Amino acid sequence: MYIPIMKNRDEELRVIRDMNGYFNESIIPLIEIIRDEHTPQYKVDDVTGGYVYELKLGNKNKTRAKLPPTENDIITLNNIQERLKGKKAFVDFFRFSENEYANKAFKGIELSFRLSRDYNYYKQRMLQIGSFNDLIPVISIKKDLIISEHDLTKLINELRRENPSIAIRITDNYLEDYIELLEEHLTQRDYLMLDIRDQHVDSKFIELEEFEDLETNAKKILLNSPRSRDFKNGDYENLVFTEKIDNKVAKIYTDYELDGFGDFGGLKDNLPVDGGGNGLGAALGLIYSKEENAFFSIVNYDTNIGMRGFEYVRSEVLNRLPLLDSEDDCIAISRIKNMEGKFGNWATWSNLTLTRYIQQQAKK
CATH number for position 88: 3.20.20
Residue 238 lies in a domain: no
Residue 114 lies in a domain: yes
What pLDDT score does 76 carry? 97
What pLDDT score does 61 carry? 87
Residue 261 lies in a domain: yes
Residue 254 lies in a domain: yes
What pLDDT score does 99 carry? 87
Q: Report which residue type is found at 354.
A: L
Residue 20 lies in a domain: yes
246: number of Cβ within 10 Å? 17
Helical axes 119-128 vs 149-160, angle rounded to 10°: 20
CA 351 to chain centre: 12
Q: What are phi and psi of 6, to 5 degrees?
A: -140, 140
**The total number of structural domains that make up the chain:** 1
Report how far residue 201's alpha carbon sits from residue 208's, in angstroms, rounded to the nearest whole number: 9
Residue 335 lies in a domain: no
Q: Report which residue type is found at 52.
A: V
Report how far residue 336's alpha carbon sits from residue 319's, in angstroms, rounded to the nearest whole number: 12
Report how far residue 159's alpha carbon sits from residue 166's, in angstroms, rounded to the nearest whole number: 7
Q: Is 356 exposed, middle or buried (0-12, 13-18, 19+ CB in 10 A)?
A: buried
Averages of pLDDT over runs of 10 residues in the chain (364 residues) are 97 96 97 96 89 85 90 96 96 94 85 96 98 97 96 98 97 96 97 97 96 97 96 97 97 97 97 74 96 98 94 97 96 95 93 98 92
Residue 314 lies in a domain: no
Domain that holds residue 98: 2-39+57-229+243-275
